[in-house]
Each structure stands twice: as C-alpha cells, then as structure tokens.
Structure 1
C-alpha cells in the first residue's frame, strides 16, 4: 500500500546501525546500508530521504537502549555498585563484536563527514541524558555525602571518562585495563563508606 513501508523497519534499522557502528558514518554508503538491511536503495530513500535521516533513526534506537541499560544499573544498588555497573555496561557495549565495534557516539563525533547539525544534536542529547542520569543518581542521600566533588561535576567527569576509555579500547583492546581505569576514577570520586 502507498505510504506503508514494505519492509520490517526495526530489523532494517538494527542492521543499518551495525553498519554505521562498524564502518563509521562517513565510510558508509547507501549501497552498504541497502545490502545490510536487505532493502533496496530506492526504498530506503523513499522511507528516509537521505543517509543522515537514516542514521538518526538508527541512532535513536541505540540511544534509547543505552540509556535504558544505564538507568537500570544505576538504580537500586549502592553508589559504588551503580558506578561500577555503569562502566561495565559502557565497556561491554564498546567491546562487543568481532572485531570490537567501539562506541557509535564517539566514532560519529570524531567523523569529519558526520558534522551535520542534526547529528551533533543527537549525540549531544545522548550525552546530556547520560549526564542527567548520573547526576540524579549521585544526588541521592546515599551518594552525595561520599562525593569528593558536587554531583553535577562528578556526572560530567564520568561521562567524559566514558569517551576517553573508548579511545583506550581502540588502542589497547583490553577490557580489564578499562575496568581498572574506571575503578580508579570511582575511588577518586567517592570517599570510603562510613
């Protein structure tokens, strides 16, 4: 029928996201996306109009899933466990796949061919929402007295560290090294429990 997609959109977006994740935005062609999704290039253009819009739809699903996983590990644990769990989720995400796929957000942020305003806004929204989740968790009665810096500053440092460990993963490909670095940061941000 006219106006209805003739393909499984969720499946197509999942496949498209994997291509962007592995190759990067700039190195990915519409032909790559058509081949991966099993959807003709013309149908992708009809549905999404351009590569940027298709990326944004695929990234939206990634952002929603990552934020949901982060929110889950930050809830109902001690602050130490919550922050360790947060880094476990982050590290697991970037070290998945063969070869490891890195971080879609960071990979896109440094891609000189992904400089569109809408892409920058989508990346910023994910990072801002991640920072908000951390700030809320660190502002709790249990966490606040243990912080060595205010919750908002700690949240920003934690999000910034997640970007840095992405680069370290690309160079060393050693998840244990990443976990040890994250543990050092958590120790620096939290005074010992009373």
Structure 2
C-alpha cells in the first residue's frame, strides 16, 4: 500500500543516526543515508518527506538515549560522585567509536545546520531538558548543601562545560584529558570536595585497549 513503510523503521533510524552522528547533518546526503540504512531513497522520501525530517527523527532517538543516560547518572546523595558520573557519561557519549563520533548536538550546532529553525529548536530543547535534569538533581536537599553555588547557576555551568568538552574532544581526541578537566570542575563546584577518584585511562592503557 502507498505510504506504508516496507522496512524496519527502528533499524533504519538507528543506521541513519549512526551516519548523522559520524558525519553531521550538513555532510550527509540522501544517497549516503539510503546506503547506510539499506532503504531506497524513494522509500525514505515517502516515509519521512525529506532529509531534514529524517534527521529530526534520528535526533529525537539520540536525545532520548542521551537524556536517559544523563538521568541515570544523576542519582545518589554525594554531589561529587554524582557529577563525576554525569561527566563520565557525557564523555563516553562523545568518545564512543573508532574514530570517535564526537557530540551530535555540538556538531549540529556548528556545521551550519542551525539555519533550519526546526533543527535549532530540537537542539535548544535537548540542552534545555539536560539543564533541567541537572538542576533538579542539584536541587535535592542532600545535594544542595554540598554546592559552592546555587543549583541553577551550577547546572548552567555544568551543561555549558559539556559543550566545551565536546569541542576539545574534536581538537585533541584525548579522553583522559577531558575527564581530568571535568573532575577539576567538579572540585570547584563542591564545597570542600575531595579529589574524585580518577577513572581516566592512561595513554598506555588506551593504546593497550586499542582506543
């Protein structure tokens, strides 16, 4: 029947997301998407309308996964441990893959894609929701008393800092350095915070692991 999807949409969206994540929206063509998803261009156009609409669907999948991981990390009553887990999750998100895929949100914000009002709105919504998640976690009584600043201010700093980490990952590709810098920020945000335990791999261990 016309208009009925004749392919596995979940698998196609996952494949499209992977390609968008590696290349960015601006550098990804419909022929490349057809090849990556195994779905003919005509079928993709019939199902989604255009490349931007497909990107928005893939970005929604990315946002749901990212926010779920962020929320899972923002648990517990120790502010230092909680923020350390949050940055661990954020850095893992941008350094996965070989070569690493980077951060889709930051890539989208810097490759000209924000000329589209729909894409700009999606990026803004993700960052707003992330900030709200972090602020809600920092507002918990057990956490709030450990902060060196107000929860809303600290949340804005944390989320803004993740954007800087994403840029530094693209420039240097050094996961260990990203984590060291993130842990330094945690110490600044927590009153009387002890140094978080280092989970950043050394250069030697990264070579041994092939990452």
Report the TM-score, using the length of structure 1 for normalisation.
0.96
In structure 1, the residue matched to 2:204 is none
CA distance in 2: counterparts of 1:114 and 1:97, whole angstroms: 25
In structure 2, the residue matched to 1:121 is 121
CA distance in 2: counterparts of 1:65 and 1:23, whole angstroms: 19
On the 8 A contact 2:127/2:159 being kept in 1, the answer is yes
Q: How many residues in Structure 1 have an aligned counterpart in Structure 2?
A: 194
Q: Does 1:142 align with 2:142?
A: yes
- C-alpha change, 1:47 and 1:115, in structure 2 (3 Å) is same
Q: Does 1:93 align with 2:120?
A: no
In structure 2, the residue matched to 1:30 is 30
Three-state SS of the structure 2 residue aligned to 1:146 is coil
Shift of 1:174: 1.0
Three-state SS of the structure 1 residue aligned to 2:115 is coil
Report the TM-score, using the length of structure 2 for normalisation.
0.89
Which 10-residue stretch deviates more, 94-103 or 110-119?
A: 110-119
Three-state SS of the structure 1 residue aligned to 2:142 is coil
1:92-133 deviation digits (Å, cap 9, x = unpaired): 111111111100000000011442011001001110010001
List runs of 5+ in structure 1 lacking aligned partners. none
In structure 2, the residue matched to 1:83 is 83
CA distance in 2: counterparts of 1:18 and 1:115, whole angstroms: 22
Please give the residue correspondences for 1:1-194 in structure 2 after superposition, counting only pairs within 5 Å. 1-192=1-192
On the 8 A contact 1:26/1:114 being kept in 2, the answer is no
CA distance in 1: counterparts of 2:176 and 2:193, whole angstroms: 25
Shift of 1:146: 1.8
On the 8 A contact 2:77/2:142 being kept in 1, the answer is no
Q: CA RMSD in A?
A: 1.3
On the 8 A contact 1:25/1:114 being kept in 2, the answer is no
Runs of 4+ that moved beyond 6 A = none
List runs of 5+ in structure 2 lacking aligned partners. 195-211
